[in-house]
Amino acid sequence: MFFQAVLLFAIFLIALVLTMVGLGGGLLFSPLFALLGFEKSMVASTSLFLNLAGAASAASIYLRRGMIDYPVALPLLAGGLTAPLGALANQHIETKTFTLILAIVVLFGALRMLFSPKGQVQEQQGSNLGRAVGSGAIGLAIGFMSGLLGIGGGVFIVPLLIYVLKVPTKTAAASNTLVVCFSSLSGFASHAAMSSINWPFILLAALFSFAGGQVGSRLMAEKLQGRTVRLIFVAVLFLMSARLLYKALF
């Protein structure tokens, strides 16, 4: 009982912190469940469902505040087409390989947080059509990774929007939460069709993820996350990545 309470509180905190930086929570949900010994398919399905709950919660706030850039966000939904392919690949990959991929993704997320810009990009470059085409290409590639790893893909999407399409930081983060909702739903549906789901746990955990998304998105909507929070989060990601690498290699 105590362990479950601690786990649910951890889910709340993960959703809170990651929605502040434009992620749904899957970046930490997947490695957390893997380290706790969840079966491989359950790691992905549970992470995707909680990712959906946290991102939907945050997106509802960003939508009301007009922070989502639709010409950028909507083409990214093409990732929903390739997420089922990633989920299918998940069923045919060795556990050690799966864990190693997770470790690399978490390490990438740490580097992205460490070197992310302190401010926002001042101007958006290119036409709406060009940005839409670029967003669509990004969405297709990231959708596959989302279904494979049980994450929403924002750890890849947000920096690509910022550095490639020159989308302002807060706009990229807010827009990504809308994308995470659809890619996570598509990936979860694929996993649910191929494996059993622990519904009592996953629904209870989703409530905590939703609550964390509400708090995190409201904080982000008012101001950018502090440098201290970012550095603490980077430290957590590095530790998680090191632990997963050890598990995969030894």
Closest CA to 134 of 72, 80, 67: 72
- The stretch 159-164 carries a mean pLDDT of 79
- The stretch 59-69 carries a mean pLDDT of 92
Q: How far apart are the first and last CA of the chain?
A: 32
Gap between the Cα atoms of 108 and 111, Å rounded: 5
Helix H or strand E segment including 131: helix 128-149
Q: Share the mean pLDDT of the chain.
A: 82
Q: How confident is the model at residue 121 (pLDDT cuts 50, 70, 90)?
A: very low
Q: How high is the pLDDT of residue 159?
A: 75
- The stretch 145-168 carries a mean pLDDT of 75
Percent of the chain scoring above 70 in pLDDT: 88
Q: Does residue 120 surpass a pLDDT of 50?
A: no
Q: Which two tokens stand for residue 24?
A: 């749904």
DSSP output for 212-233:
HHHHHHHHHHHSPPPHHHHHHH
- Domains: count for the chain: 1
Q: How confident is the model at residue 49 (pLDDT cuts 50, 70, 90)?
A: very high
List the domain range (segments joined by +) for residue 140: 2-249
Gap between the Cα atoms of 180 and 248, Å rounded: 27
Q: Does residue 198 surpass a pLDDT of 90?
A: no
Task: Identify whether the C-beta of residue 220 lies closer than 8 Å to the C-beta of residue 173.
Answer: yes
Q: Is 48 helix (H, G, I), strand (E, B) or coil?
A: helix
Task: Identify whether the C-beta of residue 147 lies closer than 8 Å to the C-beta of residue 187.
Answer: yes
Quote the Cα angle for 83-84-90, to 5°: 95
| Residue 179 CA to its chain's centroid (Å) | 10
Q: Does residue 243 surpass a pLDDT of 90?
A: no
pLDDT in tens, 168-177: 878 888 898 9
Residues belonging to the chain: 250
pTM: 0.76
